[in-house]
Amino acid sequence: MAKAKRIIKESLKLVDVVIEVLDARIPASSRNPDINETSGQKPRLVVLNKCGLADPDLTMRWIEVFIKSGFSAIAVDLLNGKGVREVPVLVRQLAAPKMASLVSSGRRPRAARCMVLGIPNVGKSFLVNKLIGQRVARTGYKPGVTRGQQWIRVADNLDLMDTPGILWPKLEDAEAAFRLAVTGAIKEEIFNLNDVAGRLIKWLAENHPEAVKNRYKLEELPDEAGELLKAVGSKRGFIIAGGAVDVLKASRNVLKEFREGKFGRITMDYPEN
Ligand SMILES: Nc1nc2c(ncn2[C@@H]2O[C@H](COP(=O)(O)OP(=O)(O)OP(=O)(O)O)[C@@H](O)[C@H]2O)c(=O)[nH]1
Ligand SMILES: [Mg+2]
């Protein structure tokens, strides 16, 4: 972690603008806890990705929050390309004062330089690929596939570091860790599937009861997480030998369907007012 931090700090010295990618469903939980310290005073564009899965009203409120904090912010959906064309425009705007000061201090004009930062699985590689316009960087479903680095011209007067910086997620905060597990930022091997799915279905039952009732054709929602999972498994016909409900299968189903947006467009983090 200390080494990763040092490498990113070195890379940051080379750039004019930081693009911080967050998951629009969890804009607070998907922030790296040290991002402000790490990227210092660099102008920053906050990109709320996967906005097609998030609640549009809450996404707008989050954008206002980031703008009030002094950043530029935009919602994008990299799967369908929504918002991607705005990104170079906003980055160049953020870099403009620096470029002007270079020129006014007698130096030659150069392209603005930016890099993409974010925790695993938020869509950094997808964003880099979209900006480059071809599949140079590798992308994949599992967190942690990016390595190696060079500059690529992605728009007039704008260079992008081809390798995004992977930052560590907010694991010491149990609630954030739970939300990161739900959205796929934490590897499945390191969390207990039944626990995470149980907490998720309980959270959904409390915050979006109609969505859960409709999805699983349930008239009543039990209070307890384990009972909720059993009700889901029973409705879906996930039964093991002997007639008991296959809770693990129900857990997988709840997580999968949430990640696919089957409960609707849901944002788990609410901005503070
Ligand atoms: N639904 C949805 N999925 C997306 C979107 N953007 C990216 N993804 C998915 O998110 C997953 C992770 O994307 P990557 O670009 O590999 O994420 P990354 O931040 O580079 O992840 P690491 O390399 O592990 O740090 C992929 O499975 C994508 O399909 C989006 O806008 N909507
Ligand atoms: Mg990547």
- Residues framing ligand 1 (Cβ under 6 A): 49-50, 52-53, 77-79, 118, 120-126, 139-141, 143-146, 164, 166
The values of phi and psi at residue 217, to 5°, are 50, 50
126: left (phi over 0), alpha (psi -120 to 50) or beta: alpha
Structure-token pair, residue 227: 């009972």
Question: pLDDT digit string (tens) for 222-262?
Answer: 999 999 999 999 999 999 989 999 999 999 999 999 999 99
Whole-number Å distance, alpha carbon 24 to ligand 1 midpoint, is 12
Ligand 1 atom closest to the Cα of residue 144 is 24
Same CATH topology for 2-166 and 192-259: the answer is no
Ligand 1 atom closest to the Cα of residue 127 is 15
The confidence score (pLDDT) of residue 10 equals: 87
Whole-number Å distance, alpha carbon 142 to ligand 1 midpoint, is 9
The values of phi and psi at residue 197, to 5°, are -65, -35
The confidence score (pLDDT) of residue 7 equals: 83
The confidence score (pLDDT) of residue 188 equals: 74
Whole-number Å distance, alpha carbon 141 to ligand 2 midpoint, is 9
Contact 218, 231 (CB under 8 A): yes
Structure-token pair, residue 143: 């967190």
Distance CA 222, CA 224 (A): 6
Ligand 1 atom closest to the Cα of residue 77 is 31
Three-state helix/strand/coil letters over the chain: CHHHHHHHHHHHHCCCEEEEEEECCCCCCCCCCCHHHHHCCCCEEEEEECHHHCCHHHHHHHHHHHHHCCCEEEECECCCCECCCHHHHHHHHHHHHHHHHHHHCCCCCCCEEEEEEECCCCCHHHHHHHHHCCCCCCCCCCCCCCCCCCEEEEECCEEEECCCEECCCCCCCHHHHHHHHHHCCCCHHHCCHHHHHHHHHHHHHHHCHHHHHHHHCCCCCCCCHHHHHHHHHHHHCCECCCCCECHHHHHHHHHHHHHCCCCCCCCCCCCCC
Ligand 1 atom closest to the Cα of residue 145 is 23
Which residue has a Cα nearest atom 32 of ligand 1? 50
Which residue has a Cα nearest atom 9 of ligand 1? 123
The confidence score (pLDDT) of residue 138 equals: 47
Structure-token pair, residue 252: 């997988």
| Domain ranges (residues) in the chain | 2-166, 192-259
Q: Does domain 2-166 have CATH number 3.40.50.300?
A: yes
Per-residue pLDDT of the chain (273 residues; tens, 9 = 90+): 678 788 888 889 999 999 999 999 999 999 999 999 888 889 999 999 999 999 999 999 999 999 999 999 999 999 999 999 999 999 999 999 999 999 999 999 899 999 999 999 999 999 999 998 854 544 444 444 444 568 888 988 999 998 899 999 999 999 999 999 999 998 877 789 999 999 999 999 999 999 999 999 999 999 999 999 999 999 999 999 899 999 999 999 999 999 999 999 999 999 997
pTM: 0.93
Give the domain 192-259 fold. Answer: Conserved Hypothetical Protein Ylqf; Chain: A; domain 2 (1.10.1580)
Distances (CA, A) of 5 to 13, 39, 136: 13, 10, 25
Reference 117, options 59, 73, 69, 163; nearest CA is: 163
Which ligand sits closest to the CA of 143? Answer: 1
Which ligand sits closest to the CA of 259? Answer: 1
Contact 109, 172 (CB under 8 A): no
- Beta-carbon contacts of residue 90 (< 8 Å; ≥ 6 apart): 45, 72, 74
The values of phi and psi at residue 80, to 5°, are -105, 0
